[in-house]
Amino acid sequence: MNTILRRSVLGIAGLALSTGVVAGPLATLTDSTPTPAAAAVQVAKPDMDTLIPHGTQGKQSRITLNDEQTANVKAIIEATKNAGMDERAAVVAIATSLQESKLENLGHLGARNDHDSQGLFQQRPSSGWGTVEQITDPEYSTTAFLNGLRQVEGWQEMPLTEAAQTVQVSAFPFHYAQWETQAAELVAEHWTS
């Protein structure tokens, strides 16, 4: 092969390799010696000023969580991340679920039921939130709540109870506020876990 053609081919191959254009595995071009696993990158826990940007309103409530409730917190956080929303959205969602169900995935409660409300967010099939199977699935119900929250213009600048109430349309609109501190603490604890 003549020198000019060889340099052209090698130059194009080098450019393709350096810019990632080459398709297929590059294992044959790299050292196959095993390398130690990369150290985990430490991600800082969200700070409380980010999680509660407007301060809390009113007296704060708190409950001790069991394993099921903690698993539901983690499911809400994971669904929030999957929805591409931030830690503040997770705080609003967890505070809402604390108020609606105490983070318990409630089925139909018979005579004690509020209409046909079920699940973590006490969503109603008759109001278009989804089927009973869907609204009692933590990922689905959280995503449905977050989709409603996303539609609230300026929710990030609202007090938590106003944002939650705009989505939920509760008979007790100010009750969400009492859970803001615990919800923020749960997000700070579990967002990076």
Q: What percent of the chain has pLDDT over 90?
A: 52
What mean pLDDT, rounded, does the chain reach? 80
- For residue 127, the model assigns a pLDDT of 85
The first and second tokens of residue 73, run together, are 């917190």
Our count of domains for the chain comes to 1
Answer yes or no: is 150 within a domain. Answer: yes
| Whether the Cβ atoms of residue 168 and residue 48 lie closer than 8 Å to each other | no
Answer yes or no: is 116 within a domain. Answer: no
* 79-83: average pLDDT: 98
Answer yes or no: is 16 within a domain. Answer: no
- For residue 31, the model assigns a pLDDT of 41
In the structure, what pLDDT confidence band is assigned to residue 148 with cuts at 50, 70 and 90? very high
- For residue 78, the model assigns a pLDDT of 98
- For residue 111, the model assigns a pLDDT of 52
Ranges 13-27, 99-113, 150-164: which has the least confidence:
13-27
The first and second tokens of residue 43, run together, are 């991600």
Q: Which residues contact 73 (CB under 8 A, 6 or more apart)?
A: 65, 94, 103, 186, 190
Domain that holds residue 185: 48-106+142-190
In the structure, what pLDDT confidence band is assigned to residue 115 with cuts at 50, 70 and 90? low
Answer yes or no: is 75 within a domain. Answer: yes
Q: Which residues contact 95 (CB under 8 A, 6 or more apart)?
A: 160, 164, 176, 177, 179, 180, 182, 183
